[in-house]
Amino acid sequence: MAKKVLKFGGTSVGTVERIQHVASIVKKELLDGNNLVVIVSAMAGQTNELIKLSNEISDKFNKRELDVLLSSGEQVTSALLAGALIELNIKAKSLLSWQIPILTEGQHSNARIINMSVEKINKYLSEEGVVIIPGFQGISKSAEVTTIGRGGSDATAVAVAKILNADTCEIYTDVDGVYSTDPNKIPVAKKIDKISYDEMLELSSLGAKVMQSSAVQTAMMYDVPLEVKSTFTERKGTKIFNQENIDYSKSVTGVAYSKDDAKITLIGVEDRPGVAANIFEPLSKAQINVDMVIQNISSDQKTTDVTFTVKRDDVAKTKGILKEKSEITYKDIIQNDKVAKISIVGAGMVSTPGITYKMFRALSDERINILAISTSEIKISVIIDEDKTLDAVKKLHTIFDLD
Ligand code: ADP
Ligand code: ASP
Ligand code: MG
């Protein structure tokens, strides 16, 4: 008998009929003799709807109340799924974060799960009941409701699987696995049967939202085996696990992209030691994540231009800080929000020379200008104009034999 954590995403529980379909999957798993804990997301679109409502009251809606509001979406689907299972004569109950409890640490809307009590859950499982847990939330030491970041039901599933010492954690979603790129945007994308944690972590941090990146990170840290599969077909999914078991015949495994970056350039910055530190220290103190940095060579030995990228949501805050700090002097500041980050990811890159050149040549053949570059051992990312995003993804997908 295996202990399994099954997680169903927003589309999978998007209507009452779909919730009934999920109940039939759970029933089958139960009849196969498994012990089951099920994590659910809110109905697709519901979290966004709730955010919209809060914005109608204020665009600076109270953070504590926002978490109370947003956590309600998952409460609805957990009760509906438990009710649907009961209708199928299955012993099931929902347990909310405070009832378990699932403990979190950190700020509202961005907390992380640090622990969970297992007694109630294990007791119910031993009585052959199915436990349904709302994803995306927890409770802080001071008993406040918290949420753990968008897409956070994946992180709940992985944390619960880890703490309960489950045999597997299965992520049911609206595609039948992890693909070489988003299959809804690039139809020639290919399904990946197995992928390493490292590659999945890069893909998800670089925009492949099929798995939330912090969930992958936790799974990697504690070796929780993951499988991404479809709620709507019975096709085999994608297994995500430790890289020893994977074949690296391909140098590039996948192409990811995101449109949430912005590029900022400071023109005419003084060219002397300490200037870069003066620029980036206050940004780091303000929790602004700077991704890529380029400093031009100064032709007159006196001034230079510094370009860097930050998340689009952080642009106003970044400019505010740069304007306010008197020790940072520059002639002008320009920003470009209409950029996208395109990345190729593959553990096989480490042992294949020439990948960087091949990527740049392919983009230049498409007349796509590269605005910034960053690399790690298993990824290369470039910033380009946003309107060329899909052209770039298609071209790279083809050139690296992924179609
Ligand atoms: P859920 O609501 O089940 O959590 P998400 O919408 O968060 O589902 O993630 C699934 C979506 O991720 C897919 O519908 C797909 O459009 C998108 N996606 C982006 N990149 C990839 C990829 N490389 N492989 C599979 N799906 C991807
Ligand atoms: N409902 C939350 C969101 O939309 C969490 C999740 O679906 O994973 O971000
Ligand atoms: Mg998701």
Question: Which domains occur in the chain, in start order?
Answer: 3-174 (3.40.1160.10)
CA of 210 to the centre of ligand 1 (A): 3
Work out which ligand 2 atom sits closest to the CA atom of 74.
1
Query: How confident is the prediction along the chain (403 residues), in pLDDT tens digits per residue?
Result: 899 999 999 999 999 999 999 999 999 999 999 999 999 999 999 999 999 999 999 999 999 999 999 999 999 999 999 999 999 999 999 999 999 999 999 999 999 999 999 999 999 999 999 999 999 999 999 999 999 999 999 999 999 999 999 999 999 999 999 999 999 999 999 999 999 999 999 999 999 999 999 999 999 999 999 999 999 999 999 999 987 755 667 889 999 999 989 999 999 998 888 889 999 999 999 999 999 998 887 777 789 999 999 999 999 999 999 999 888 889 999 999 999 999 999 988 888 889 999 999 999 999 999 999 999 989 999 999 999 999 999 999 999 999 9
SS (H, E, C) the chain: CCEEEEEECCCCCCCHHHHHHHHHHHHHHHHCCCEEEEEECCCCCHHHHHHHHHHHHCCCCCHHHHHHHHCHHHHHHHHHHHHHHHHCCCCEEECCCCCCCEEEECCCCCCEEEEECCHHHHHHHHCCCEEEEECCEEEECCCCEEECCCCCHHHHHHHHHHHCCCCEEEEEECCCCCECCCCCCCCCCCECCEEEHHHHHHHHHCCCCCCCHHHHHHHHHHCCCEEEEECCCCCCCEEEECHHHCCCCCCCCEEEEECCEEEEEEEEEECCCCHHHHHHHHHHHCCCCCCCEEECCCCCCCEEEEEEEEEHHHHHHHHHHHHHCCCCCCCEEEEECCEEEEEEECHHHHHCCCHHHHHHHHHHHCCCCCCEEEEECCEEEEEEEHHHHHHHHHHHHHHCCCC
Ligand 2 cavity residues, CB under 6 Å? 10, 41-42, 47, 73, 135-136, 150-153
CA of 224 to the centre of ligand 1 (A): 20
